[in-house]
Amino acid sequence: MSYSQYPSANPSGQPEQTNTTNPTPKKDNRILIYILLGGALIATWGYLLYDKSKSKEEKVQYVDRIIKDSLSQADLQLRFNDLSGKADSLTINNQQLQGALAEKKSAIDNLKKSISKTLNDKNATKAQLAEAQKQIAELQSKIEGLFAEVEKLKAENTQLTATNQQLNTDKTQLATEKGELQTNLDKTKEEKAKVENLASTLHASNINVTAIDLKGSKEKETTTAKKVDFLKVSFDIDENRVAPSGSKELYVCVYHPDGSLSVSAGTFTDRDGKTKPYTNKVDINYEQGKKLPVSFNWKPGSKFETGDYKIEIYNNGFKIGEGTKSLKKATFLGL
């Protein structure tokens, strides 16, 4: 490095002697370099800050543009109309919403009113439109939730309907089976009643028909028709372990020798369902499981005739016994 020379104060023009013992100090340029570096650094920072601020501004402008586009009142109205149609369709098809579903429908209706109020306002601010957009998103979520709940209930109702149909089918089948069982039971009871009825029918044995000639208070047996005052009929009712104790009716039919029935005292129904006249009815007091002797007297309204008198005894529609008495003419001597 060279050093600058300055004019000398020596008038003689002679060169001055250089003091080699105390040299002149060199000039330090590092400060300048630091200054320049600091300036460059400050400039760089400034540029970076400017660039960042400009990017932020552009980003804000971009976001504002997106928000402005997304908050188009007409677009929000279209989206709202679409959701409202879905909500109306959902609630119309399911008018009987109850409980929690009714509360969800009420919340949807309230949101629709709030959104509709904002979208119908021609002077709605961006903040109001942003709130409407938020409410539309909430409305969509609630509609989807309600739709899911309704579909779930439909599936459950379908299952319940199928179950009820099966139960009704089972019930019908059970009712049919019950009816068949009741019919069979009734038939069984009817058959049992018939068997018991048949088994309870009394039976007459030891039937004896005697022609009596009454002499004062003395009875004398005879076989001569013109001497007979009455017929005495006697028999035993055999023991029966089925027939209950109590009053029983015995119907007696007496037939003349010509086959005609003696004067009828009434009628009864036989086992074939036919009405049959009888001559005499005998009431007895029967005791279950025991034999009972029975007797009664009978005489016609006119004189006895010669021939066979037949006597039939009925109980419970059945003929339980019969007997015959033959009467003859008197002999030459009247005997």
Residues 13, 18, 19: CA angle, nearest 5 degrees: 140
pLDDT of residue 12: 46
pLDDT of residue 93: 59
pLDDT of residue 308: 95
Question: What are 146's two structure tokens?
Answer: 């309600």
**pTM (whole model) above 0.75:** no
pLDDT of residue 172: 92
In this structure, the number of other CB atoms found within 10 A of the CB of residue 297 comes to 14
- The pLDDT tens digits along the chain (335 residues) read 444 444 444 444 444 444 444 555 555 677 778 787 777 778 777 767 766 666 666 555 544 554 545 468 888 888 888 888 877 777 655 555 666 677 887 888 888 898 888 888 888 888 888 998 898 898 888 888 888 888 888 888 889 889 999 999 999 999 999 999 999 989 888 888 888 888 999 999 999 999 999 988 899 999 999 999 999 999 999 999 999 999 999 999 999 999 999 987 899 999 899 999 999 999 999 999 999 999 999 988 788 999 999 999 999 999 999 999 999 987 755 55
pLDDT of residue 139: 84
Q: Which amino acid is at 37?
A: L
Residue 198: helix, strand or coil by DSSP? helix
Check: CB of residue 283 under 8 Å from CB of residue 249: yes
Structurally, at CATH architecture level, domain 204-327 sits in: Sandwich (2.60)
Instruction: Indicate the helix (H) or strand (E) that contains 282.
Output: strand 280-286
pLDDT of residue 92: 59
pLDDT of residue 327: 93
Closest CA to 208 of 225, 231, 224: 231
CA dist., res. 287 & res. 246, Å (int):
7
CA dist., res. 102 & res. 153, Å (int):
13
pLDDT of residue 116: 86
Q: Per-domain residue ranges for the chain?
A: 73-165, 204-327
Check: CB of residue 71 under 8 Å from CB of residue 133: yes
